[in-house]
Amino acid sequence: MIDYVGVAERILREKTNRCLGRVRLKRLRSTDFTVISNNCWAGTVYRYFNLPYLSPTCGLYFFAEDYVRFASDLRRYVTLPLEFIDARDSSHYEELVGKGEENKVVAKIADIEVVFLHYSTAEEAEEKWRRRVERINWENLFVKFSQMNGCSDDNIRKFDSIDFPNKICFTAKPMKDVECSVFHPSSVRNGQITNDTDRFRQNFDLFGWLNSAAAVYR
């Protein structure tokens, strides 16, 4: 089911980000922040403020269990090499076929996989990944997750247990026992969020989050 209001919101926002971004920036404590996300949400945030991408997690996504591992040991994973594989060799191949994404660029980082959704070649994906890894601000880091791409309640609780203060998780249902959860009711199907980038601030104070105390990722 298409969220037409969300689609319209995204189209209008993308058309006005360039001129309104500088106005929104005035409400931020700092413009030097890194958002790590499980999908394209990080890129949406940077475009909202008309800022350069200071995160490698733009234009791509992870399946849920892979992302929890990635976020749990972020400093190590971003230093490891990308090993590009044929999507047919992906452990998530059936899911990729179901999404119509069996021709997307896929890479392994040790025991996890990354789907480079918006990159046409492995060379482009690696160049942008490496360049943006160098831009990470480890002194002002924000980590976001969503209940999508095979995300279980256990994945969410493991993410919630990561010892990092500036983290959020958009969930397809209220989860009062999860401290970092933010209920995201739009675009929910079969217990999963199908789209969190159209209404990317739903039920969430983005400015308050980015203006919270700077946190160092150990």
For position 1, what pLDDT does the model report?
A: 63
For position 215, what pLDDT does the model report?
A: 59
For position 214, what pLDDT does the model report?
A: 66
Using CA atoms, how far apart are residues 104 and 100, in angstroms rounded to an integer? 9
pLDDT digits (tens, 9 = 90+) for 125-160: 999 999 999 999 999 999 999 999 999 999 999 999
For position 64, what pLDDT does the model report?
A: 98
For position 216, what pLDDT does the model report?
A: 58
Q: Which of 82, 89, 171, 151 is nearest to 119 (CA)?
A: 82
Q: What stretches in the chain show pLDDT beneath 70?
A: 1, 214-218
For position 120, what pLDDT does the model report?
A: 94
